[in-house]
């Protein structure tokens, strides 16, 4: 097995290095044509949609080598296992990683493939996005983009939330709901977070009537009363305390190590999936209370010169707002810097008002240059344009667009002060801002 990623080394490639899997950083048709030739070429749909004439794709077609979505490789590996697929606009990686942790703690030795780095305690080695186990359960993160989740036919599907995203493939929220509905119709049991308005709307549709459904959610004014439901008793810097009904005959108090209302909802999705797999309440509670988190999901990177730095993958207005709220729970009383590297031009252009409103809930906002990803058109939005939109919402807070990821890191180092908390969010190379800022602050503080 080998691979190619023009993005070069990243926190995700250490596990590949440890496994002896060679990843080239430059695309070349010889990766396909040279001996030993691959049996199949697994690719991202973002590539096949944007650049169908890519040299490696063309070489594979010319040689009759099958080209397929990489999700198909994972689906093939899960044959004969109980496939548990975590889907939804938000919370997939945290929910999937949390479920893996619950199963590992219960001694069930699952396999998994998720979208964030699982901690070493879950993988038995270096942090990785995959885990190979001998147990029956196989947990996957099922992404809706361009039908990425179509390869999966899960025994259990968890639906965390449904909201408009990926405007390059979904015209509106109705199109998103239709995609989830069609996919869920092929699942066995659905664990649905009906505390989320979009997910509740999907579950009320006629197409899913008659399917086995376990509803979960935080208590609220919704028309559906979840079977597994919780009330937030306290939100503290060290975590969130829930009173949960539906796991056992009586209400159970659970002390989550995570912050944020969204993570309380994620925990209920994990609990529902674990119940569907037959885990007893005691094992579920223990796993929920001991979750160490996954990479780049409100990950506390460190503190230097009195400045605390977090890193997060948030790249949608709803996720950004929820993450800012969560970091305020973690770090009460601190000035919050929201530092965002927008993920794709098309998403930024489609949701500029929503991004501006969410980012403006911070005390200071910094926008790095947009990460293009699969975008062919880089003229439809800009970091400066988003910064201007934030300033129109909140003219009383600092807002800046310093430039590249590296330029943003340098600019921040000269602006932050003791007592601040810096929340870095986004895809692309935004993680370098978090690590680079800490390194710069430590260097500046070192004795000369």
- 345-390 pLDDT, tens digit per residue, is 999 999 999 999 999 999 999 999 999 988 889 999 999 999 999 9
Please give the biggest Cα pair distance in the chain: 71
Which of 271, 289, 307 represents a domain boundary (last residue)? 289
* Residue % of the chain over a pLDDT of 70: 99
Residue 125 and residue 59 in one domain: no
SS3 track for the chain: CEEECCCCCCCCCHHHHHCCCEEECCCCCHHHHCCCCCCCEEECHHHHHHCCCCHHHHHHHHCCCCEEEHHHHHHHHCCCCEEEEEECCCCHHHHHHHHHHHHHHCCCCCEEEEEEEECHHHHCCCCEEEECCCCCEEEEEECCHHHHHHHCCCCEEEECCCCCCCCCCCCCHHHHHHHHHHHHCCCCEEEEECCCHHHHHHHCCHHHCCCEEEEEEECCCCCCCCCEEEEEEEEECCEEEEEEECCCCCCEEEEECCCCHHHHHHHHHHHHHHHHCCCCHHHHHHHHHCCCCCCCCCEEEEEECCEEEEEECCCCHHHHHHHHHHHHHHCCCCEEEEEEECECHHHHHHCHHHHHHHHCCCCEEEEECCECCCCCCCCCCCHHHHHHHHHHHCCCCCEEEEECHHHHHHHHHCCCCCCEEEEEEECCCCHHHHHHHHHHHHHHHCCC
Residue 52 and residue 98 in one domain: no
Which pLDDT score, from 0 to 100, does residue 124 have? 86
Residue 310 and residue 246 in one domain: no
* pLDDT above 90 (res 8): no
Q: Answer whether residue 294 is part of any domain.
A: no
Tokens 């999700």, located at residue: 71
Q: Which long-range contacts link 174-181 to residues 24+ away (Cβ below 8 Å)?
A: 176/89, 176/144, 177/201, 177/202, 177/205, 179/144, 179/147, 180/87, 180/144, 181/205, 181/207, 181/208
Residue 272 and residue 352 in one domain: no
User: How would residue 448 be classed by pLDDT, with cut points 50, 70 and 90?
Assistant: low
Q: Answer whether residue 56 is part of any domain.
A: yes
Residue 213 and residue 78 in one domain: yes
Which pLDDT score, from 0 to 100, does residue 373 have? 86
Q: Answer whether residue 91 is part of any domain.
A: yes
Q: What is the dihedral of CA 178, 183, 187, 190, to 10 degrees?
A: -40
Q: Answer whether residue 35 is part of any domain.
A: yes
Residue 122 and residue 260 in one domain: yes
- 128-140 pLDDT, tens digit per residue, is 999 999 999 999 9
Task: Tell me how far apart the alpha carbons of residues 420 and 303 are, in angstroms, rounded to a whole number.
Answer: 10
Which pLDDT score, from 0 to 100, does residue 369 have? 98
Cis peptide before 403 (omega within 30 of 0): no
Residue 169 and residue 284 in one domain: yes
Residue 137 and residue 238 in one domain: yes
Residue 316 and residue 432 in one domain: yes
* pLDDT above 80 (res 222): no
Q: Which of 288-297, 373-382, 435-444 has the weakest average pLDDT?
A: 373-382
Which of 65, 93, 112 represents a domain boundary (last residue)? 65
CB 127 within 8 A of CB 306: no
- 141-172 pLDDT, tens digit per residue, is 999 999 999 999 999 999 999 999 999 999 99
Q: State the CATH number of the domain containing residue 76.
A: 3.40.1190.10
Q: State the CATH number of the domain containing residue 316.
A: 3.90.190.20
- 403-419 pLDDT, tens digit per residue, is 999 999 999 999 999 99
* Domain of 199, in residue numbers: 72-289
Which pLDDT score, from 0 to 100, does residue 278 have? 98
Which pLDDT score, from 0 to 100, does residue 223 have? 65
Residue 309 and residue 277 in one domain: no
Q: Give the number of domains in the chain.
A: 3
- 12-27 pLDDT, tens digit per residue, is 989 999 999 989 999 9
Q: Answer whether residue 424 is part of any domain.
A: yes
- The mean pLDDT value of the chain amounts to 95
Which pLDDT score, from 0 to 100, does residue 33 have? 94
More confident of the two residues 318 and 375: 318
Which of 27, 50, 65 represents a domain boundary (last residue)? 65
Residue 245 and residue 167 in one domain: yes
User: How would residue 50 be classed by pLDDT, with cut points 50, 70 and 90?
Assistant: confident
Mean pLDDT on 327-351: 98
Which pLDDT score, from 0 to 100, does residue 182 have? 98
- 175-202 pLDDT, tens digit per residue, is 999 999 999 999 999 999 999 999 999 9
CB 122 within 8 A of CB 104: yes
User: How would residue 46 be classed by pLDDT, with cut points 50, 70 and 90?
Assistant: confident
Residue 82 and residue 185 in one domain: yes
- 69-113 pLDDT, tens digit per residue, is 999 999 999 999 999 999 999 999 999 999 999 999 999 999 999
Q: Answer whether residue 251 is part of any domain.
A: yes
């Amino acid at each position: 097995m080998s691979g190619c990623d023009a993005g070069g080394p990243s926190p995700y490639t250490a596990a590949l290095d440890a496994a002896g899997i060679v990843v080239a950083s430059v695309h070349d048709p010889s990766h396909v044509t040279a001996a030993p030739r691959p049996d199949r070429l697994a690719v991202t749909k973002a590539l096949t949609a944007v650049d169908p004439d890519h040299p490696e794709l063309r070489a594979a077609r010319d040689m009759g080598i099958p080209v397929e979505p990489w999700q198909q490789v994972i689906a093939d590996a899960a044959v004969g296992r109980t496939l548990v697929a975590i889907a939804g606009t938000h919370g997939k990686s945290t929910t999937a990683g949390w479920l893996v942790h619950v199963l590992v703690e219960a001694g069930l030795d699952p396999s998994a493939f998720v979208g964030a780095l699982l901690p070493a305690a879950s993988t038995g080695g270096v942090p990785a996005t995959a885990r190979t186990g001998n147990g029956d359960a196989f947990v996957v993160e099922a992404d809706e983009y361009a039908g990425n989740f179509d390869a999966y036919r899960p025994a259990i599907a968890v639906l965390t939330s449904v909201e408009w995203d990926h405007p390059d493939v979904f015209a509106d929220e109705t199109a998103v709901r239709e995609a989830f509905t069609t996919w869920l119709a092929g699942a066995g049991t659905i664990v649905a977070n009906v505390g989320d308005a979009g997910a509740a709307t999907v579950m009320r549709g006629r197409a899913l009537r008659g399917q086995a459904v376990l509803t979960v959610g935080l208590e609220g004014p919704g028309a559906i009363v979840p079977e597994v439901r919780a009330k937030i008793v306290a939100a503290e810097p060290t975590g969130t305390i829930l009173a949960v009904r539906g796991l056992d005959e009586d209400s159970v108090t659970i002390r989550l190590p995570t912050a944020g209302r969204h993570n309380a909802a994620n925990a209920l999705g994990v609990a529902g999936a674990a119940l569907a797999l037959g885990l007893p309440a005691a094992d579920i509670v223990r796993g929920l209370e001991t979750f160490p988190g996954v990479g780049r999901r409100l990950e506390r990177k460190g503190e230097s010169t009195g400045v605390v730095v977090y890193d997060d993958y948030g790249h949608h207005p709803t996720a950004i707002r929820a993450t800012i709220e969560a970091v305020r729970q973690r770090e009460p009383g601190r000035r919050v810097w929201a530092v965002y590297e927008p993920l794709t031009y098309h998403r930024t252009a489609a949701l500029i008002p929503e991004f501006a409103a969410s980012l403006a809930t911070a005390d200071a906002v910094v926008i790095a240059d947009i990460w293009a990803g699969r975008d062919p058109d880089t003229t439809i939005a800009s970091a400066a344009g988003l910064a201007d939109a934030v300033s129109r919402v909140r003219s009383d807070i600092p807002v800046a667009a310093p430039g590249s990821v590296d330029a943003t890191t340098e600019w921040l180092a000269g602006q932050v002060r003791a007592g601040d908390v810096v929340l870095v969010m986004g895809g692309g190379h935004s993680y370098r801002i978090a690590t680079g800022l800490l390194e710069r602050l430590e260097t500046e503080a070192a004795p000369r």
